[in-house]
């Protein structure tokens, strides 16, 4: 996809569109994260709850942005057109959700370093930090001006590589929890379906 095509799909057409969508998502995410911290029996529980919550809100927002073009191509309708038109803002909402994941992680590290290091290995820090570097680069190249500065070729390289890398980190983070919590298989099924949709989308002619 070239940068012009990318930017031309972003004209807001309704209320929950464009920057308004991002603002609503950011306020809702912030409120939900704060509520999760408050709901824990202890501050440690609350912080852990909000880390898990923001990982899950991130997954939903990531999948919406990741599959937008493929789904709109396969099932063109009003909803998928909305999803495609707002792909940039869904991606930025994902970045916001993951920023909250990072903020609460740092809070847990400061509050209970022993608990943080029980839950985290150095591998998670390295792979997670690379994911954050991609998320920051993708978010900062998600304005018309920065997208044009980067150019369509590098924009596409960055966003394709970054989103597949984040997909892998989600797969590993949810997959490793399946032995203790089999219900996490649902996340793997959703991630797998999203990958199949993306990989097969280019074979279909637009309707
Ligand atoms: C340096 C970066 C990161 C660190 C230190 C980190 C740390 C953690 C910790 C400690 C938990 C467990 C919380 C608990 O069980 O109470 C967690 C959960 C999780 N994180 Fe992160 N994370 C990082 C980045 C990421 C990234 C980049 C992703 C995805 C792209 C991600 C996805 C997840 C998922 C899926 C869970 C499981 C949520 C659940 O149990 O429902 N994390 N993370």
Distance CA 24, CA 109 (A): 29
Neighbours of 161 (CB within 10 A): 13
From 53, 66, 99, 101, mutation site for ligand 1 pocket: most ligand atoms within 8 A of C-beta: 101
- pLDDT for position 8: 43
From 124, 134, 185, mutation site for ligand 1 pocket: most ligand atoms within 8 A of C-beta: 124
**Is residue 174 in contact with ligand 1, taking CB distance under 6 Å?**
yes
- pLDDT for position 4: 40
Burial 19-42 (b: 16+ CB within 10 A, else e): eebbeebbeebeebbeebbeeeee
Q: What is the largest CA-CA distance in the chain?
A: 55
- Is the CB of residue 158 less than 8 Å from the CB of residue 138? yes
Q: Which of 38, 87, 32 is nearest to 55 (CA)?
A: 32
> Could you read off the pLDDT of 159-204 as tens digits, one per residue?
999 999 999 999 999 999 999 999 999 999 999 999 999 999 877 5
Length of the chain: 207
- pLDDT for position 206: 53
- pLDDT for position 12: 58
Rg (CA), the chain: 18
Distance CA 74, CA 95 (A): 26
> Could you read off the pLDDT of 85-118 as tens digits, one per residue?
999 999 999 999 999 999 999 999 999 999 999 9
Distance CA 31, CA 17 (A): 20
- pLDDT for position 202: 76
Taking the CA of residue 47 as reference, the ligand 1 atom at the shortest distance is 16
> Could you read off the pLDDT of 5-55 as tens digits, one per residue?
444 455 556 788 999 999 999 999 999 999 999 999 999 999 999 999 999
């Amino acid at each position: 996809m070239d940068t012009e095509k990318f930017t031309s799909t972003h004209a807001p057409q309704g209320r929950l569109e464009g920057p308004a969508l991002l603002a609503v998502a950011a306020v809702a995410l912030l409120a939900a994260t704060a509520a999760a911290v408050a709901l824990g029996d202890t501050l440690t529980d609350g912080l852990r709850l909000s880390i898990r919550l923001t990982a899950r809100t991130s997954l939903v927002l990531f999948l919406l942005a990741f599959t937008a073009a493929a789904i709109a191509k396969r099932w063109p309708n009003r909803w998928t057109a909305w999803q495609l038109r707002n792909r940039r803002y869904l991606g930025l909402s994902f970045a916001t959700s993951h920023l909250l994941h990072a903020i609460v992680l740092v809070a847990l590290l400061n509050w209970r370093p022993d608990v943080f290091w029980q839950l985290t290995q150095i591998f998670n820090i390295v792979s997670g930090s690379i994911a954050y570097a991609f998320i920051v680069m993708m978010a900062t190249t998600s304005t018309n001006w920065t997208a044009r500065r980067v150019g369509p070729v590098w924009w596409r390289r960055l966003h394709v590589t970054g989103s597949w890398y984040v997909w892998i980190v989600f797969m590993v983070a949810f997959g490793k929890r399946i032995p203790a919590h089999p219900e996490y298989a649902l996340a793997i099924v959703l991630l797998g379906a999203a990958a199949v949709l993306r990989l097969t989308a280019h074979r279909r002619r637009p309707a």
